[in-house]
Chains A and B, each alone.
Chain A
Amino acid sequence: MLADEVCDCHVLVIGSGGAGVRAAIEASQFGKTVLISKTIVGKGGCTTMAEGGYNAVLRELDSCGGHYEDTLKGGAYLNDPELVDILTKEAPLRMGDLVKWGAVFDFTDADEVAQRPFGGQRFPRTCYAGDRTGHEMMMTLVDRLAATDVETLQEYTVIDLLKDGDAVIGAMALDEKGRLVLLKADSTILATGGGTKVYDISTNSSSGTGDGYAMGYRAGAELIDMEMVQFHPTGAIQPYDARGRLVTEAVRGEGGVLKNVNGERFMKTYDPARMELSTRDVVARAIATEILKGRGTPNGGVYLDVTHLPREQIESRLPVMLEQFKKFGVDIRTTPMEVAPTAHHIMGGLRITSECRTTLPGLFACGEVSGSVHGANRLGGNALAETQVFGKRAGESAGKAAPRKKIVDQQQVDAQQDRLNRFLAGTINPSQVRKKLQLAMWEGAGIFRNAGDLEKTLALVKQLAPSRIRAASPRNLAECCILENMCLTASLICRAALLRTESRGAHVRTDIVQTHDAEHSPFGHTFLSRAREGIEIREGKQ
Chain B
Amino acid sequence: MKELTVRIRRFDPDKDTGPHVESYTVKVNDGARVLHVLHAIHDTLDPTLSYRYSCASGQCGSCAVRVNGEPVLACMEEAKDRITIEPLNLAVKKDLVTDLIPRLDQIASLLPKKDVVLPKKADIDAIKPLKDCIECLSCVSVCPAVDVTKFIGPTAMRQEMRLVLDPRDSGDRIPDAIRDGLFFCTTCQACWKVCPKSIEIPGKAIEKLRAHANKRGLSLPRHMEVAALVQETGRSIPRTSESFLEKVPGVIEPDGPVKATVGFFVGCMYNLRQQQSALDAMEVLRRNGIRVIIPKEQVCCGSPLIRTGNLAYIDELKRRNIETFKSRGIDTVLTMCAGCGTTLKKDYQTPFAVIDINELLTRYGIEPPARLPIKATYHDPCHLMRGQDIRDQPRALIRQVVDLVEMPSICCGSGGGVRAGNPDEAAALGKRRGEEIKKTGADIVITSCPFCEFHIAGHTDKPVKNIATVLLEGYREKDRKKAAGSKR
Contact = CB atoms under 8 A, between A and B. Distances in A.
Interface of A: 39-40, 42-46, 48-49, 99-102, 104-109, 111, 129-130, 132, 135-136, 139-140, 142-144, 146-147, 154, 176-177, 205-207, 238-242, 245-246, 319-320, 323-324, 327-329, 429-432, 435, 472-473, 475-476, 479
17 contacts: A40-B104, A46-B55, A48-B60, A99-B118, A104-B119, A104-B127, A104-B131, A107-B124, A135-B59, A143-B110, A146-B105, A207-B54, A241-B29, A245-B56, A429-B47, A472-B48, A476-B48
Contact of B109 (A135, A146, A245): A146
B131 A241 contact: no
Contacts of B124: 104-107
B93 interface: yes
Contacts of A323: 58, 197
B101 A40 contact: yes
Contact of A206 (B29, B46, B54, B59): B54
A428 B181 CA distance: 52
Q: How many B residues are at the interface, by size bracket?
A: 35 or more
Contacts of A143: 109-110
Contacts of A43: 54-55, 60-62, 135
Contacts of A132: 59, 132
B140 to A, nearest CB: 15
A205 B109 contact: no
Given A99-B118, A104-B128, A429-B43, A42 B135 contact: yes
A44 B60 contact: yes
Interface in B6-62: 14, 28-33, 36, 39, 42-44, 46-48, 50, 52-62
A242 B56 contact: yes
Contacts of A327: 58, 76
Interface centre among A129, A144, A205, A432 (most CB of B within 10 A): A205
B155 to A, nearest CB: 12
Interface of B: 14, 28-33, 36, 39, 42-44, 46-48, 50, 52-62, 75-76, 93-94, 100-101, 104-105, 109-112, 116, 118-121, 124-125, 127-128, 131-132, 134-135, 166, 168-169, 197
A40 B62 contact: yes
Contact of A473 (B39, B44, B48, B55): B48
B59 A431 contact: no
B36 A242 contact: yes
A129 B104 CA distance: 22
Nearest to A470: B47
Given A104-B128, A240-B31, A242-B33, A111 B121 contact: yes
Contacts of B75: 242
B30 A240 contact: yes
A-B complex: 3 closest residue pairs judged by Cβ atoms: A239-B31, A431-B43, A102-B110
A175 B32 CA distance: 31
Contacts of B48: 472-473, 475-476
A476 B131 contact: no
A280 to B, nearest CB: 19
A39 B62 contact: yes
A178 to B, nearest CB: 11
A521 B46 CA distance: 51
A142 B33 CA distance: 29
A192 to B, nearest CB: 14
Contacts of A242: 31, 33, 36, 56-57, 75
A206 B101 contact: no
B29 A240 contact: yes
Which applies to chain B's interface (DSSP): helix, strand, loop or mixed?
A: loop
Contact of A136 (B56, B109, B112, B131): B131
Contacts of A104: 119, 124, 127-128, 131
Contacts, number: 145
A360 B39 CA distance: 38
A490 to B, nearest CB: 19
A327 B78 CA distance: 9
A339 to B, nearest CB: 14
A107 B57 contact: no
A431 B29 contact: no
A431 B76 contact: no
Contact of A139 (B31, B76, B131): B131
Nearest to A246: B57
A144 B119 CA distance: 18
A207 B60 CA distance: 12
Contacts of A329: 31
A55 B120 CA distance: 21
B197 to A, nearest CB: 8
B31 A241 contact: yes
A328 B57 contact: no
A107 B54 contact: no
Contacts of A108: 121
Nearest to A479: B47
A329 B94 CA distance: 33
A108 B124 CA distance: 10
A129 B31 CA distance: 30
B168 A135 contact: no
Contacts of B135: 42-43
A40 B56 contact: no
Nearest to B40: A241
A40 B127 CA distance: 25
A101 B131 contact: no
Nearest to B131: A104
Contacts of B42: 431
A312 B169 CA distance: 30
Contacts of A45: 54
A320 B121 CA distance: 21
A139 B44 CA distance: 36
Given A242-B33, A475-B50, A431 B44 contact: yes
B53 A324 contact: no
A235 to B, nearest CB: 11
B120 A44 contact: no
A324 B110 contact: no
Nearest to A102: B110
Nearest to A177: B14
B55 A49 contact: yes
Contacts of B60: 43-44, 48-49, 135, 205
A290 B50 CA distance: 41
Nearest to B116: A100
A48 B59 contact: yes
A132 B197 CA distance: 12
A240 B79 CA distance: 13
Contacts of B28: 241
Nearest to B198: A323
B23 to A, nearest CB: 19
Contacts of A146: 105, 109
Given A101-B112, A111-B121, A143-B109, A245 B57 contact: yes
Given A44-B54, A107-B124, A206-B54, A102 B168 contact: yes
Given A135-B59, A327-B58, A431-B43, A147 B30 contact: no
Nearest to A140: B110
A238 B57 CA distance: 13
Contacts of B120: 107, 111
A328 B168 contact: no
Contacts of A100: 112, 116, 168
B311 to A, nearest CB: 26
A241 B33 contact: yes
Contact of B54 (A144, A176, A205): A205
B112 A102 contact: yes
A75 B169 CA distance: 40
Contacts of B39: 241
Contacts of B105: 146
A241 B100 contact: no
Given A206-B54, A328-B31, 20 more contacts: A39-B54, A40-B101, A43-B62, A43-B135, A44-B62, A107-B119, A107-B124, A132-B132, A142-B109, A144-B109, A146-B109, A176-B93, A239-B29, A239-B32, A246-B57, A323-B197, A329-B31, A473-B48, A475-B48, A475-B50
